[in-house]
């Protein structure tokens, strides 16, 4: 079944073994034990900081429009066309009046272009540790993301040293990370660096994945990239009132070539600015009816982020590709169970 499709998908597309073989390989078993520890550590840390865990929706009338080139998937809800969640960001915002500090371990589905099957960094099904904090600004969200990653890395390094060793990952890789002092660079600075390296990075878009890998390779610990240009992200990211055209958002990039681990920012929360954001992104506000009704009733200002679970697990294990850290991997365009 997959042999056939692999050929169609191109010579670089990984060949995924049958599921039973994939799961019984010592590499997958160890990666899954790391993943389980990441989740336990994240839950322990966030609950200790006063966050409530909720179970996110899987489907809804609309989903996050902010995906980079990924297609949304339709599901029939009793004659209504619903979407599978690419991210539950809108639900996080609407839940903040009830749970001012909340998180999901959210399963998301994105039909990325089949060419991304060989990047090592894209899956059709993946999970985010999805955090939102009422009243927080970007600095607050960045601090929570950094603390969360440090806690997770420390716990895996301390609790699973033999598993990391079996995977070929030397804990010294995380030495600088654990010292803190993570840099912040603006999107514009990163674009300049990449241009200087001969990489053609579009200044008006997110850093592309090759670009992320390049800057990530040069670092010895994770670093933040801030101030993405308007239009490069979803309408919900808040524009800097003092620097129109620039968003008060951030990514957290890994060192060692692993690229983006976290994506987040301050959110728009007033009705007018959200409707403008939707229009500017080329969409019809009517599509977001239920959400805009909630916004009209009032949602708090907030900041938050999504941390890619499989990406963090790959970073911890040092494996080549996200499919190797997924129990039931689905690569874009590759037919597997």
CB 236 within 8 A of CB 267: yes
Nearer to a copy of itself, 210 or 289 (CB): 289
| CA–CA distance, 7 with 67 (Å, rounded to integer) | 27
Residue 75 lies near a copy of itself (rule: CB under 8 A): yes
Cβ distance to a copy of itself smaller for residue 103 or 228: 103
Q: Which of 10, 69, 180, 337 binds a copy of itself (CB under 8 A)?
A: 337
Could you tell me the sign of the dihedral formed by the alpha carbons of 48, 51, 52, 57, in that order?
negative
Taking residues 5 to 44 in sequence order and writing x for each that binds a copy of itself by CB under 8 A, - otherwise, the string is: -------------xxxx-xx---xx--xx-xx--xx--x-
Residues 43-72, one symbol each (x = binds a copy of itself by CB under 8 A, - = not), give: x---x----xxxxxxxxxx-----------
Whole-angstrom distance, CA of residue 156 vs CA of residue 149: 11
- Piece in contact with a copy of itself (CB under 8 A), picked from 109-117, 153-161, 192-200, 232-240: 109-117
Q: Is 330 in the site for a copy of itself (CB under 8 A)?
A: yes
- Residues 170, 259: Cα–Cα separation, whole Å: 19
Q: Which of 86, 91, 215, 258 binds a copy of itself (CB under 8 A)?
A: 91
Task: Kindly state whether residue 280 participates in binding a copy of itself, applying the rule CB under 8 A.
Answer: no
Q: What is the 8-class DSSP label of residue 325?
A: G
- What is the side-by-side strand order in the sheet with 80-84? 59-60, 80-84, 74-77
- Residue pair 251/262 in contact (Cβ under 8 Å)? The answer is yes
Yes or no: say if 221 and 255 are a contact pair by the CB < 8 Å rule: yes
Cβ 36 to a copy of itself, closest distance in Å? 5
Distance CA 274, CA 300 (A): 13
Count of beta carbons in the 10 Å neighbourhood of residue 157: 19
**Out of 7, 97, 175, 180, the residue judged to bind a copy of itself by CB under 8 A:** 97
What is the C-alpha to C-alpha distance for residues 126 and 326, in angstroms, rounded to an integer? 8
List contacts with a copy of itself (CB under 8 A): 1, 18-21, 23-24, 28-29, 32-33, 35-36, 39-40, 43, 47, 52-61, 73-78, 80, 84, 91, 94-95, 97-99, 107, 109, 111, 114, 124-125, 127, 289-291, 293-294, 297-299, 309, 326-328, 330, 332-333, 335, 337
């Amino acid at each position: 079944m997959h042999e056939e499709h692999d050929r169609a998908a191109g010579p670089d597309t990984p060949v995924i073994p049958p599921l039973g073989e994939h799961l019984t390989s010592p590499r997958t078993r160890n990666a899954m034990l790391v993943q389980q520890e990441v989740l336990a550590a994240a839950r322990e840390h966030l609950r200790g900081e006063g966050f409530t865990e909720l179970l996110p929706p899987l489907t809804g009338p609309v989903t996050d429009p902010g995906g980079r080139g990924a297609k949304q998937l339709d599901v029939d809800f009793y004659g209504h066309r619903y979407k599978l969640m690419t991210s539950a960001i809108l639900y996080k915002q609407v839940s903040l009046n009830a749970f001012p500090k909340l998180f999901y371990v959210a399963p998301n589905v994105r039909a990325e272009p089949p060419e991304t099957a060989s990047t090592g960094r894209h899956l059709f099904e993946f999970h985010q540790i999805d955090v939102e904090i009422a009243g927080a600004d970007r600095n607050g969200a960045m601090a929570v993301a950094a603390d969360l990653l440090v806690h997770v890395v420390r716990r895996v390094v301390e609790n699973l040293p033999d598993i990391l060793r079996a995977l070929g990952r030397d804990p010294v890789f995380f030495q600088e990370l654990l010292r803190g002092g993570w840099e912040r660079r603006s999107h514009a600075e990163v674009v300049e660096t990449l241009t200087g390296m001969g990489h053609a990075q579009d200044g008006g878009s997110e850093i592309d994945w090759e670009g992320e890998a390049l800057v990530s390779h040069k670092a010895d610990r994770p670093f933040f990239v801030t101030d993405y240009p308007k239009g490069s992200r979803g309408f919900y990211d808040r524009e800097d009132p003092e620097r129109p055209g620039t968003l008060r958002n951030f990514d957290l990039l890994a060192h060692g070539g692993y690229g983006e681990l976290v994506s987040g920012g301050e959110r728009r929360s007033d009705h007018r600015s959200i409707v403008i954001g939707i229009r500017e992104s080329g969409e019809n506000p009517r599509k977001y009816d239920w959400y805009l009704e909630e916004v009209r009733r009032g949602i708090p200002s907030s900041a938050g982020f999504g941390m890619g679970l499989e990406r963090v697990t790959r970073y911890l294990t040092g494996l080549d590709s996200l499919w190797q850290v997924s129990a039931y991997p689905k690569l874009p365009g590759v037919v597997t169970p």
